[in-house]
Amino acid sequence: MAAGSISGTEFANQANIFFTLSVKYNDTWDLKSSPHNRNEVYLTKRCNIEVAENKQVSTNQKQSSSQTANQSIAEEEDVDVEESDAACLTTTPPPSSSVCQFEYHIVYSASYGVPVLYFNAYTQDGRLLSLDSVWNSVPQHYQDRFQHERWTTLTQQEHPILGRPFFQLHPCHTADLMSKLIPESCSGNYLLSWLSAVGPVVGLKVPLSYVTS
C-alpha cells in the first residue's frame, strides 16, 4: 500500500472496532453492510446541528455609518454551528438559526486507498441544503483555510454504495495528510486519527474517550 493509505480489509477491521467503541460510549454510529457486497462495510451517523441562517442585506437598506455597515457585513458572513449530539462540534448558536439534520457516512475508497467522509444535511421540513449553505455551515477558520480550493475540498458526488447524491470531503489529499500523521508501520489508529483531522471541517469530532481507549 502507498504511504498514508490502508487496505479495504484494514478499513473493515477498524470500522468494526470504531463501532464497538460507539456502542460502549453510547454514541450513535451504526455499522452497515453494502447491499451489493456484505463484506463491504461503512459507518453512518445522524445528529442535529443548529446552523445559522444567512442574512441578506438589500441595496435600499444601506447604512449611513461605515461602522454599522462593517458590522452588518460581519454578521452576514458569520456562520456558527451548535449541535445536540455530544460527538459533533459544539459552538454558541447565533440569534437567527435553524436546526438541520446531518447524516454522515464513512466509506472506503478502493481508488484512493483511504476512507472518505460523505454527508447530507436536511432542514426540518426535509429539504436538502444547497452546497452554498453547507459551505456556510463550515467553521470560519476552515473557510479561511480552504477559501482558494473550496469547491475541490467540498464537492457533491454520487454515494458509491447507495447511488444517490451526497456531499463529500474530497479524498485526493487524504493519503498525504495521513502519511504525516501516522508512521507507515503503524495503522492501528488510522481511522480515529483521520476522522479527528477531517471531521471538524463539517461539524463532526471524535470524543476524547475514543482516543484514550
Positions annotated as catalytic residues are: 172
Q: How many CA atoms does the CB half-sphere of 199 hold within 13 Å?
A: 20
Is the CA virtual torsion 112, 114, 115, 118 positive or negative? Answer: negative
Query: What is the rounded CA–CA span in Å between residue 126 and residue 128?
Result: 6
Q: What is the DSSP letter of 139?
A: -
On the CB side of 174, how many CA atoms lie within 13 Å of its CA? 26
Q: What are phi and psi of 69, to 5 degrees?
A: -65, -45
